[in-house]
């Protein structure tokens, strides 16, 4: 499933459903699709999302085990791609929320 976030103050943002639902829950939302945040609630949702992403970042840093160079390669000696974290995936959504907060606009999301 894909989830598209929309606001009259920013371009639409589409992301995979699992990442979108996780980010919605970090904002204090239920994670249900479709849904909306009213304009007056956008600044609080943005602040909550940024706060929770910071907590996740600190937790991930604290839990990162020390690795040797051998663990960075698979059996074929090809480099493994690092997973893309929620903090990176959240960037476009944070920009949309900031624009919506500034313009005092609602934020809506729906599944595709």
Q: How many domains does the chain have?
A: 1
Give which of 31, 26, 27 is closest to 3, Cα–Cα. 31
- Model-level pTM? 0.80
Residue 76 belongs to a domain: no
Residue 39 belongs to a domain: yes
Residue 40 belongs to a domain: yes
Over residues 79-96, the pLDDT tens digits come to 667 677 888 899 999 999
Range of the domain at 54: 2-62+85-111
Is the pLDDT at 15 greater than 60? The verdict is yes
Rounded to 10 degrees, the C-alpha dihedral 74/79/80/85 comes to 160
Residue 70 belongs to a domain: no
Over residues 31-60, the pLDDT tens digits come to 999 999 999 999 999 999 999 999 988 877
Is the pLDDT at 74 greater than 80? The verdict is no
Residue 17 belongs to a domain: yes
Residue 19 belongs to a domain: yes
Q: How far apart are CA 42 and CA 46, in angstroms?
A: 6
Read off the pLDDT band of 65 (50, 70, 90).
low
Residue 72 belongs to a domain: no
């Amino acid at each position: 499933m894909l989830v598209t976030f929309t606001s009259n103050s920013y371009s639409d943002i589409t992301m995979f459903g699992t990442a979108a639902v996780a980010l919605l829950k970090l904002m204090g939302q239920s994670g249900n699709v479709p849904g909306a945040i009213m304009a007056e609630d956008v600044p609080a949702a943005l602040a909550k999302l940024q706060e929770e992403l910071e907590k996740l970042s600190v937790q991930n840093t604290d839990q990162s085990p020390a690795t040797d160079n051998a663990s960075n390669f698979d059996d074929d000696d090809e480099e493994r791609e690092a997973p893309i974290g929620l903090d990176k995936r959240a960037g476009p959504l944070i920009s949309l929320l900031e624009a919506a907060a500034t313009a005092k606009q609602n934020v809506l999301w729906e599944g595709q």
